[in-house]
């Protein structure tokens, strides 16, 4: 059981104030959530399932990345993540464990897509 709470992290410059409750999460998990925010994935809590909680990730626009991060309900540790790099992606990218999830999130590029985007692909959206 996680008996130590992480100190309040510094806000990310240029990012909106986080609305996700960080109570009971490890410092590593908070770092991953901050990384997701920095990548423009707008993390929010999803419905808990069994012994885990889910953080839903969703960038702006149809070509932005989306997915979820699964966190242990009592431990507050990152268990796994699944990221889809836009609606035209060939499939989901999956990772298990804190370090692998961090690497996966580092591979996500911040989307330039707008909510009303009508481009046929993410490449056309960025140009």
Q: 68-123: per-residue pLDDT in tens?
A: 999 999 999 999 999 988 777 778 899 999 999 999 999 888 777 777 777 776 66
Q: Is residue 8 part of a domain?
A: no
Q: Is residue 21 part of a domain?
A: no
pTM of the model: 0.77
Q: Is residue 48 part of a domain?
A: yes
Question: Domain containing 78: what range?
Answer: 27-126
Identify the sign of the CA torsion 73, 25, 15, 91: negative
Q: Is residue 20 part of a domain?
A: no
Q: Is residue 92 part of a domain?
A: yes
Give the confidence band of 7 by pLDDT, cuts at 50, 70, 90: very low
φ and ψ of 15, to 5 deg: -95, 150
Q: Is residue 32 part of a domain?
A: yes
- Domain count of the chain? 1
Q: 35-74: per-residue pLDDT in tens?
A: 999 998 999 999 888 899 999 998 887 778 889 999 999 9
Give the confidence band of 21 by pLDDT, cuts at 50, 70, 90: confident
Q: Is residue 19 part of a domain?
A: no
């Amino acid at each position: 059981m996680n008996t130590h709470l992480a100190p309040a992290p510094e806000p990310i410059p240029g990012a909106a104030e986080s609305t996700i409750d960080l109570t009971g999460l490890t410092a590593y998990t908070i770092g991953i959530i901050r990384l997701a925010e920095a990548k423009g994935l707008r993390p929010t809590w999803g419905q808990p399932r069994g012994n885990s909680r889910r953080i839903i990730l969703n960038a702006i626009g149809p070509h932005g990345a989306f997915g979820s991060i699964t966190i242990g309900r009592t431990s507050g540790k990152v268990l796994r993540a699944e990221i889809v790099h836009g609606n035209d992606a060939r499939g989901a990218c999956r990772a298990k464990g804190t370090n692998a999830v961090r690497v996966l999130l580092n591979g996500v590029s911040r989307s330039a897509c707008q909510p009303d985007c009508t481009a046929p692909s993410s490449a056309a959206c960025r140009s």
